[in-house]
């Protein structure tokens, strides 16, 4: 064996090894970094390298050692390794091919079912990429908008949304970019210009490396529901209006009922007051019959007794006294009848008053003279201090005289022995005020508002003691108020009374 043959042997050996290594690293040269592919290529290269070593050994033994039998054995081993590896690779590739085909069939069937599911949905399906451009819609979505599928694909989803809903859609797309699924209601623009009210349920799409790749949404047509809700809202507003009107009617009815109840309450009070008045009237009627009968019977009895005594032909001195008794009784009877007639005519409206200028000081003095004799018998002083500067009033002289006389008569009647009556006048605005102050029995505060009522007697026993019918002060009130004046009283029980009257000054 010469040197050239040995060199040739090693060149061939290293050349074959280089080829094997090239086959081993081809996947890396092509950028294939899948671990399984690399491992598969490594096993094939290793088997080829081992088989080559057996082949080289067989060549070396036959060529240099002339051992043909051993060389043939090594060649068979080398060929066997290659055949076994080839069989293993073929079987493995066949299995993998079957798996790939089966996987492809599964994927094709899944994709078909996925497409059928999307196309047979009752709702719309819309898929967009990360730039909001449409990548897929189903037939239902096309029908809902009135566009063909080709007219929608590749278009920005916002071009099919009502302008007033753009901000809402952008807000929810940003949420999907962050990985959130959202549901919201918006309005789409249909091809014919109509509005599609829709419920959108969107979800994001991410790839294996968690990069956002777009989103898809299920879109439900809620136009009918929207219209129904609109009608319901309209009906609700109408119903609220009807309820408000009914409420107002009920409120008005309640207010009317409350007013009726208040009126009934007032009426009840009025009826109760009227009933009390009727009881008072009945009591007053009984009292009037009793009192007037007594007042009428007293002077008649006196006159009758005096006449009977006269008929017995008494002495001349007794005769004059009896005649005086008859005259006093007749005067008393006449005053009583005049008071009854006067109060009756006033309340019937037939009493006529005439206004003229009268000198009030003179009128008061005349009234004092009328009661002076009775006052002197009981040692009652009457003091009158007039104001000369404003004594003229505009009134009916007879009515004022009757009022002043009645007040003075009461002041004397209800005074104490040795008492006093003081009369003063003063100007109050356009009126003259006359005050009659006495030192009599006085009036309890609870009776002050009723002493001017006709036939009202504070205490029947007082009437029997002092006499009277309860007409006097009622006449005073009627006469003074008939002159556009006013009358009132201030009093304390047991401390006397002050009666006031005001009359308009003459101008």
User: 360 and 381 share a domain?
Assistant: yes
d(CA 203, CA 180): 7
**From 56-60, 139-143, 478-482, the region with the lowest mean pLDDT:** 56-60
* CB-based contact 345:488 (threshold 8 Å): no
d(CA 41, CA 28): 10
d(CA 393, CA 401): 12
**CATH number for the domain harbouring residue 240:** 1.10.287.130
From 351, 379, 394, the end of a domain falls on 351
Q: What is the pLDDT of residues 315-335, one digit of tens each?
A: 667 777 777 767 766 766 666
**CATH number for the domain harbouring residue 443:** 3.30.565.10
User: 239 and 345 share a domain?
Assistant: yes
* CB-based contact 200:186 (threshold 8 Å): yes
Q: Please state the three-class secondary structure of 205-251 as a single string.
A: EECCCCCEEEEEEEEEECHHHHHHHHHHHHHHHHHHHHHHHHHHHHH
Task: Assess if residue 305 is contained within a domain.
Answer: yes
Q: Looking at residue 464, what is its pLDDT?
A: 46
* CB-based contact 364:395 (threshold 8 Å): no
From 328, 351, 374, the end of a domain falls on 351
Residue 126 in this model has a pLDDT that exceeds 50: yes
Q: Please compute the mean of the pLDDT values over residues 44-63 and round it to a whole number.
A: 64
User: 362 and 484 share a domain?
Assistant: yes
From 190, 221, 252, the end of a domain falls on 221
**CATH number for the domain harbouring residue 195:** 3.30.450.20
Identify which has the larger pLDDT, 179 or 228.
179
User: 9 and 110 share a domain?
Assistant: yes
d(CA 119, CA 30): 41
β-bridge pairing 182-189 and 134-137: unpaired
User: 346 and 356 share a domain?
Assistant: no
User: 347 and 262 share a domain?
Assistant: yes
Helix (H) or strand (E) holding 345: helix 316-348
Task: Assess if residue 383 is contained within a domain.
Answer: yes
Task: Assess if residue 174 is contained within a domain.
Answer: yes
Task: Assess if residue 398 is contained within a domain.
Answer: yes
User: 329 and 212 share a domain?
Assistant: no
User: 316 and 430 share a domain?
Assistant: no
Task: Assess if residue 226 is contained within a domain.
Answer: no
d(CA 412, CA 410): 5
Q: Looking at residue 285, what is its pLDDT?
A: 56
Task: Assess if residue 399 is contained within a domain.
Answer: yes
- For residue 136, what are the domain limits? 121-221
Residue 63 in this model has a pLDDT that exceeds 60: yes
User: 105 and 198 share a domain?
Assistant: no
For the chain, what is the domain count? 4
Q: Looking at residue 463, what is its pLDDT?
A: 46
**From 102-116, 121-135, 137-151, 470-484, the region with the lowest mean pLDDT:** 102-116
User: 125 and 253 share a domain?
Assistant: no
Residue 7 in this model has a pLDDT that exceeds 70: no
Burial 207-220 (b: 16+ CB within 10 A, else e): eeeeeeebbbbbbb
User: 240 and 213 share a domain?
Assistant: no
Q: What is the pLDDT of residues 432-443, one digit of tens each?
A: 999 999 999 988
User: 184 and 264 share a domain?
Assistant: no
Q: Please compute the mean of the pLDDT values over residues 35-47 and round it to a whole number.
A: 59
Residue 378, phi then psi, degrees to nearest 5: -105, 10
The closest alpha carbon to 357, from 194, 500, 504, belongs to 504
Task: Assess if residue 500 is contained within a domain.
Answer: yes
Task: Assess if residue 283 is contained within a domain.
Answer: yes
pLDDT over 90 for what percent of the chain? Answer: 27
């Amino acid at each position: 064996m010469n040197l050239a043959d040995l060199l040739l042997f090693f060149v061939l050996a290293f050349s074959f090894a280089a080829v094997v290594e090239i086959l081993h690293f081809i996947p890396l040269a092509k950028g294939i970094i899948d671990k399984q592919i690399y491992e598969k290529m490594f096993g094939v290269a290793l088997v080829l390298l081992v088989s080559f070593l057996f082949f080289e050994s067989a060549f070396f033994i036959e060529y240099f050692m002339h051992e043909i039998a051993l060389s043939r054995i090594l060649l068979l081993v080398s060929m066997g390794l290659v055949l076994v590896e080839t069989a293993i690779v073929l079987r493995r590739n066949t299995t993998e091919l079957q798996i790939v085909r089966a996987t492809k069939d599964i994927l094709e069937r899944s994709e078909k079912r996925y497409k059928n599911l999307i196309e047979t949905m009752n709702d719309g399906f819309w898929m967009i990429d990360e730039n909001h451009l449409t990548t897929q819609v189903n037939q239902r979505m096309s029908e809902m908008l009135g566009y063909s599928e080709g007219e929608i694909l590749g278009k920005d989803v916002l071009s099919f949304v009502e302008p007033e809903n753009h901000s809402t859609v952008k807000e929810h797309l940003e949420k999907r970019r962050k990985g959130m699924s959202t549901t919201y209601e918006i309005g789409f623009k249909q091809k014919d210009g109509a509005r599609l009210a829709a419920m959108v349920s969107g979800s994001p799409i991410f790839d294996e490396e968690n990069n956002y790749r777009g989103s898809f949404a299920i879109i439900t047509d809620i136009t009918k529901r929207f219209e129904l809700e609109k009608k319901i809202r309209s009906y609700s507003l109408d119903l609220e209006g009807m309820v408000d009107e009914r409420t107002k009617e009920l409120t008005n009815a309640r207010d009317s009922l409350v007013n009726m109840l208040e009126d009934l309450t007032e009426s009840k009070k009025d009826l109760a007051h009227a009933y009390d008045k009727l009881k008072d009237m009945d009591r007053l009627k009984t009292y009037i019959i009793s009192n007037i009968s007594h007042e009428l019977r007293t002077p008649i009895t006196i006159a009758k007794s005096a006449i009977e005594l006269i008929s017995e032909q008494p002495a001349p001195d007794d005769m004059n006294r009896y005649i005086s008794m008859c005259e006093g009784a007749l005067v008393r009877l006449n005053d009583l009848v005049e008071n009854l007639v006067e109060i009756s005519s006033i309340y019937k409206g037939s009493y006529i008053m005439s206004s003229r200028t009268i000198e009030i000081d003179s009128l008061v003095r005349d009234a004092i003279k009328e009661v002076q004799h009775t006052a002197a018998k009981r040692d009652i002083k009457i003091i009158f201090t007039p104001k000369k500067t404003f004594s003229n009033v505009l009134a009916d002289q007879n009515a004022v005289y009757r009022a002043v006389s009645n007040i003075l008569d009461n002041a004397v009647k209800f005074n104490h022995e040795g008492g006093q009556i003081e009369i003063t006048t003063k100007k109050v605005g356009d009126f003259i005020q006359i005050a009659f102050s006495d030192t009599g029995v006085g009036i309890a505060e609870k009776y002050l508002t009723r002493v001017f009522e006709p036939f009202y007697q504070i205490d029947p026993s007082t009437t029997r003691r002092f006499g009277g019918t309860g007409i006097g002060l009622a006449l005073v009130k009627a006469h003074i108020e008939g002159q556009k004046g006013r009358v009132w009283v201030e009093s304390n029980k047991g401390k006397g009374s002050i009666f006031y009257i005001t009359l308009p000054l003459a101008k």
